[in-house]
């Protein structure tokens, strides 16, 4: 968001001169019990001619469209003399005011009842507002400064990265405003000072809304500080936050969605749960991921989503890096900080490998392709079926294991690490805020390794193409065994099964290449018999499979659109992968392996 930031500096310097030219919003919550907020928007210098206002269709950090226009209604417009004027809905989310005076006021009701990083929630406990989900804006006035005023119940306070000034909360322009989520509640808060190597002092802090004991909060806060230190150690410094402040805006309440959303100077973290104690693990995982974004994505920014477009989906070829490498470092920071054990870290990486290496989508398509699919999967809602289980693999997880492969390769082959690479990317594109193209990432890898050929080969195989690294070998250097532990078990393919009127029905798509898929069975089919065994529960199937070997051919009877069919089902080896340590596998740890692990997994903040 470099452009907006520079612009922000410019605007604040001239703000005094044009102080009256600010779009002003006022919010009140008299009907919070029914999830409504009343919003008024005063616009002082409306350009002549028909004037358009709109709701957003997308939100920063989300890549699909979300149609926020559905939750605003009762829209009215007034001239400065108070007379009501016409306002027409001309598209789902666009409104037109054909005739008006120079200053106008627009009022509307916002409905919101989902606590997460994307939408809005208004209830008697709080208002939790993501800006694109909540505020109308004028496409022709995106550079006009914005100020917001809140009329709140007595106990509620304001938490946001917007700048407080004379009772208002301010943004220099629309892009900054959109990036500044707001939590209004009776929250708990604390802050601490952090210092960069160049002496820059900044404030980091937590805003926590939800049940918490002093003990639980103190434990949580100390762990957040450890995570921050480990991530800072990767880059060597913290980013320079716009007002010298960064805040974790955390909401732990029953019925919340579990979510995290990164912003330039804050993050929204939501989790369901009765209290902090119960949710600490989940929240810390999200903290580790989202905070890493304050370098990777908020400042090391893919050109494809810069600037962000609020009127359509934002497609990017770089999410395997922006989200996937962040996912890897979120996991690694938790391990390095001692919050997760080495075993937990490795088990997670093994689970990710299992999911990607056994995904027909990831076997065929590249991390770039998966990144571009985000416009359909990133909470994009549709009621028709898709074939994602056969063509898609999450760019978070696919990107994570790509980062893992690169990290282990850099360590083994070059005596370098992924930390060295991330630091180089930070210097070239993060600190400078020059948005990157994929070619830039390849070029920096060539510079760090002093081998453009290595970089070219790595990107060609694993980023532009769908080849997979030799994880078995990579793990061996670090003293881990990559294994197919269930290889002797007969397997028909992993599908979800549900019991429907005494029938066992396949309820998820069959995965390409699995025995069920090859036999022609798919979602909706009910398995009624395997050889002579009648099937009436999922347990009958697992019991039957225990009596079989990989390679056996079984006669399956199944109900398909109401008719009984039969097919031959050739059972396969169970391909499940997991990763265990040499110790657990009864193998010896050499001093070389010990050093490799220490370099990779020990705390970098305490080094």
Residue 123 or 262 with smaller CB distance to Zn ion: 262
The distance of closest approach from Cβ of residue 405 to Zn ion in the complex, given in angstroms and rounded to an integer, is 20
Tokens of 443: 């070029």
- Cβ of residue 379: shortest distance to Zn ion, in angstroms? 13
CB of 141 to Zn ion, least distance (A): 31
In the stretch 404-433, what mask flags binding to Zn ion with x, by CB under 5 A? ------------------------------
Give, as ranges, the residues between 497 and 526 that touch Zn ion (CB under 5 A): none
Residues 109-128 that bind Zn ion (CB under 5 A): none
Using the structure block, give the residue that is written with the tokens 């103190």. 218
Closer of 112 and 324 to Zn ion (Cβ):
324
Residue of minimal CB distance from Zn ion? 323
Q: How far is the CB of 148 from Zn ion (least distance, A)?
A: 26
Distance CA 345, CA 332 (A): 7
Q: What's the closest the beta carbon of residue 289 comes to Zn ion, in angstroms? A: 6
Provide, rounded to whole angstroms, the least separation between the CB of residue 396 and Zn ion. 7
Taking the least distance from each CB to Zn ion, the nearer of 51 and 291 is 291
Q: Which is nearer to Zn ion, 71 or 393 (CB)?
A: 393
Alpha-carbon gap, residue 318 to 462, rounded angstroms: 13
Contact yes or no for 67/59 (Cβ under 8 A): no
CB of 323 to Zn ion, least distance (A): 5
Which 3 state secondary structure label does DSSP give 528? strand
Q: State the minimum distance, in angstroms, from the CB of residue 180 to Zn ion.
A: 18
Q: What DSSP state is assigned to residue 236?
A: S
Nearer to Zn ion, 298 or 323 (CB): 323
Residue 321 CB, shortest distance to Zn ion, in Å, is: 11
Window 526-555: residues binding Zn ion (CB under 5 A)? none
Closer residue to Zn ion in complex, CB, 127/297:
297
Q: Which is nearer to Zn ion, 313 or 541 (CB)?
A: 313
Which of 280, 323 has the CB closer to Zn ion?
323
Q: How far is the CB of 403 from Zn ion (least distance, A)?
A: 13
- Smallest distance from Zn ion to CB 304, Å: 15
x/- mask, Zn ion, residues 258-287, rule CB under 5 A, reads ------------------------------
Task: List % helix, strand, coil for the chain (3-state, nearest 5).
Answer: 35, 25, 40
Q: Are strands 88-91 and 84-85 parallel, antiparallel or unpaired?
A: unpaired
Measure the N-to-C terminal CA separation of the chain; round to a whole number of Å. 33
Contacts 24+ apart (CB under 8 A), 280-284: 280/216, 280/219, 280/220, 280/223, 282/258, 283/220, 283/250, 283/252, 284/220, 284/223, 284/224, 284/227, 284/334, 284/339
Nearer to Zn ion, 380 or 550 (CB): 380
Omega before 307 within 30 of 0, i.e. cis:
yes
User: Which is closer to Zn ion, CB of 22 or CB of 262?
Assistant: 262
Size of the site for Zn ion (CB under 5 A): 1
Pick 108 or 329: Cβ nearer Zn ion: 329
Choice between 187 and 328, CB closer to Zn ion: 328
**Shortest distance, CB of residue 312 to Zn ion, whole angstroms?**
20
Environment class of 199 (CB within 10 Å of its CB; exposed 0-12, middle 13-18, buried 19+): exposed
DSSP string, 281-341: HHHHHHHHHHHHTTTBTTTB-BGGGSSPPSSS----S-HIIIIIIHHHHHHHHHHHTTSS-
Other residues' Cβ atoms within 10 Å of the Cβ of residue 33:
10
CB 318 to Zn ion: min, Å: 12
What's the closest the beta carbon of residue 234 comes to Zn ion, in angstroms? 16
Distances (CA, A) of 229 to 155, 194, 234, 352: 34, 9, 9, 26
Smallest gap from residue 290 Cβ to Zn ion (A): 7
Place of tokens 């083994």: 412
Structure tokens at 148: 């917001």
User: If we measure between CA atoms, which residue out of 179, 173, 137 comes closest to residue 161?
Assistant: 179
Element holding 543 (H helix, E strand): helix 538-546
Segment 307 to 346, residues that bind Zn ion, using CB under 5 A: 323
Retrieve residue 391's tokens: 């063509």
- Paired sense of beta strands 146-151 and 23-28, if any: parallel
Interhelix angle for 276-292 vs 214-235, to 10°?
20
* CB of 251 or CB of 323, closer to Zn ion: 323
Which C-beta is closer to Zn ion: that of 123 or that of 323? 323
Does residue 569 contact residue 556 with C-beta atoms inside 8 Å?
yes
253 and 243 Cβ atoms separated by less than 8 Å = no
Residue closer to Zn ion by CB (options 271, 574) is: 271
User: Contact letters (x/-) for Zn ion, 355-394, by CB under 5 A?
Assistant: ----------------------------------------
8 A C-beta contact, residue 122 and residue 112: yes
Residue found under tokens 């798919």: 522
Interface residues toward Zn ion, by CB under 5 A = 323
């Amino acid at each position: 968001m470099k452009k907006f930031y520079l612009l922000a500096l410019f605007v604040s310097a001239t703000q005094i001169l044009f102080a009256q030219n600010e779009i002003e919003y006022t919010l009140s919550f008299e009907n919070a019990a029914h999830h409504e907020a009343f919003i008024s928007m005063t616009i002082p210098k409306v350009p002549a001619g028909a004037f358009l206002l709109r709701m957003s269709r997308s939100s920063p950090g989300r890549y699909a469209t979300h149609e926020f226009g559905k939750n605003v209604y009762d829209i009215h417009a007034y001239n400065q003399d108070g007379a009501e004027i016409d306002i027409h809905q001309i598209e789902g989310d666009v409104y037109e005011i054909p005739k008006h005076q120079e200053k106008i006021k627009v009022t509307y009701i916002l409905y919101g009842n989902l606590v997460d990083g994307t939408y809005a929630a208004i209830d008697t406990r709080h208002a939790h507002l993501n800006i694109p989900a909540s505020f109308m804006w004028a496409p022709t006035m995106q550079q006009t400064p914005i100020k917001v005023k809140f009329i709140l119940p007595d106990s509620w306070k304001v938490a946001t990265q917007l700048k407080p000034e004379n009772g208002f909360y301010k943004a220099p322009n629309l892009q900054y405003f959109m990036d500044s989520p707001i939590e209004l509640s009776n929250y708990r808060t604390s802050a601490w000072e952090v210092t960069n190597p160049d002496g820059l002092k900044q404030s980091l802090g937590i805003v926590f809304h939800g049940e918490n004991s002093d003990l639980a909060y103190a434990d949580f806060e100390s762990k957040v500080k450890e995570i921050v230190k480990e991530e800072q150690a990767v880059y060597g410094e913290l980013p320079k936050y716009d007002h010298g402040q960064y805040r974790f805006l955390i909401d732990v309440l029953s019925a919340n969605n579990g979510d995290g959303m990164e912003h330039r100077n804050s993050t929204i973290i939501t989790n369901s749960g009765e209290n902090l104690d119960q949710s600490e693990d989940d929240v810390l995982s999200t903290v580790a991921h989202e905070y890493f974004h304050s370098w990777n994505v908020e400042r090391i920014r893919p050109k494809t989503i810069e600037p962000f477009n609020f009127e359509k989906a934002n497609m990017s070829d770089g999410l395997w890096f922006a989200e996937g490498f962040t996912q890897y470092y979120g996991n690694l920071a938790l391990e390095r900080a001692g919050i997760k054990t080495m075993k937990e870290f490795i088990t997670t990486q093994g689970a990710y490998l299992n999911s990607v290496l056994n995904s027909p989508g990831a076997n065929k398509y590249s991390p770039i392709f998966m990144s571009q699919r985000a416009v359909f999967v990133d909470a994009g809602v549709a009621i028709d079926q898709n074939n994602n289980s056969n063509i898609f693999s999450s760019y978070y997880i696919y990107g994570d294991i790509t980062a893992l492969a690169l990290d282990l390769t850099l360590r083994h082959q070059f005596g370098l690490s992924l930390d060295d690479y991330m630091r180089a990317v930070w210097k070239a594109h993060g600190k400078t805020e020059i948005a990157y193209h994929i070619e830039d990432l390849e070029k920096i890898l060539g510079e760090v390794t002093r081998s453009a050929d290595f970089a070219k080969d790595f990107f060609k195989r694993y980023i532009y193409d769908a080849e997979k690294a030799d994880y078995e070998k990579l793990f061996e250097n670090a003293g881990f065994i990559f294994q197919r532990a269930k290889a002797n078990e007969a397997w028909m393919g992993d599908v979800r099964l549900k019991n429907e009127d005494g029938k066992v029905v396949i309820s998820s798509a069959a995965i390409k290449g699995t025995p069920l898929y090859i036999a022609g069975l798919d979602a909706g089919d009910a398995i009624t018999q395997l050889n002579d065994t009648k099937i009436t529960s999922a347990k009958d199937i697992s019991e039957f499979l225990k009596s079989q070997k990989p390679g056996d051919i079984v006669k399956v009877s199944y109900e398909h659109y109401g008719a009984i069919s039969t097919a031959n089902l050739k059972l396969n080896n169970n391909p499940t992968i997991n990763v265990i340590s040499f110790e657990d596998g009864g193998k010896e740890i050499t001093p070389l392996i010990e050093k490799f692990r220490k370099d990779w997994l020990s705390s970098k903040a305490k080094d």
